[in-house]
Amino acid sequence: MPNLMTHLKKVSEQKPQATYYNVDMLKYQVSAQGIQSTPLNLAVSWRCEPASTDLRIDYKYNTEAMTTPVALNNVQFLVPVDGGVTKLQAVLPPAVWNAEQQRILWKIPDISQKSENGGVGSLLARFQLAEGPSSPAPLAVQFTSEGSTLSSCDIELVGAGYRFSLIKKRFAAGKYLADN
């Protein structure tokens, strides 16, 4: 508690006009213990031909991974594609191709139980190639979430005279990869 009081005093001196101060009380990392413990299950399939590559990413929102099911926000799927891509077609939902970095990016605002099909979906793309075939590459995914944890870890303040006015729980994808 003395460390917390020192920290709050320092923060209040830096921002005297603030009505409240956020303090990170606990930060930790969780290692996934198989597909049942990941909030977004993924399956990636590639069909690599000399002149074209088809990429399909299937995803499924997993309520079982969270203590309280909450939406995954700002979900980004990023995949590098080699083989000299000359044209991108049949992209569902729409995505952004970065020719300089040779990668495709899908952005989905949020995925949850309330999403279309209960958070189950597919991302599809066909690439026309000049120097194919492509080599399958790992898919990287990023997202954040507020209001729940993946570990069921909680915090409680024990002692008289102090209280929490607000407890925020959140998690974010760290190294979240899927291979073919």
Q: Tell me the pLDDT tens digit for each residue of 51-95.
A: 999 999 999 999 999 989 999 999 999 999 999 999 998 788 999
pLDDT at 25 over 80: no
Q: What is the pLDDT of residue 89?
A: 86
Q: What percent of the chain has pLDDT over 70?
A: 99
- As a whole number of angstroms, the distance between CA 69 and CA 86 comes to 41
- As a whole number of angstroms, the distance between CA 82 and CA 21 comes to 47
pLDDT at 118 over 80: yes
pLDDT at 113 over 90: yes
Q: Between these two residues, 64 and 163, which has the higher pLDDT value?
A: 64
Domain coordinates in residue numbering, the chain = 26-178
47 pLDDT band, cuts 50/70/90, is: very high
Q: What is the pLDDT of residue 51?
A: 97
What pTM did the predictor assign? 0.85
Q: What is the pLDDT of residue 180?
A: 67
Q: What percent of the chain has pLDDT over 90?
A: 61
Fold adopted by 26-178 = Immunoglobulin-like (2.60.40)
Q: What is the dihedral of CA 164, 18, 147, 173, to 10 degrees?
A: -120
Is residue 68 a contact partner of residue 147, using CB atoms and an 8 Å limit?
A: yes
- As a whole number of angstroms, the distance between CA 44 and CA 59 comes to 9
Is residue 127 a contact partner of residue 81, using CB atoms and an 8 Å limit?
A: yes
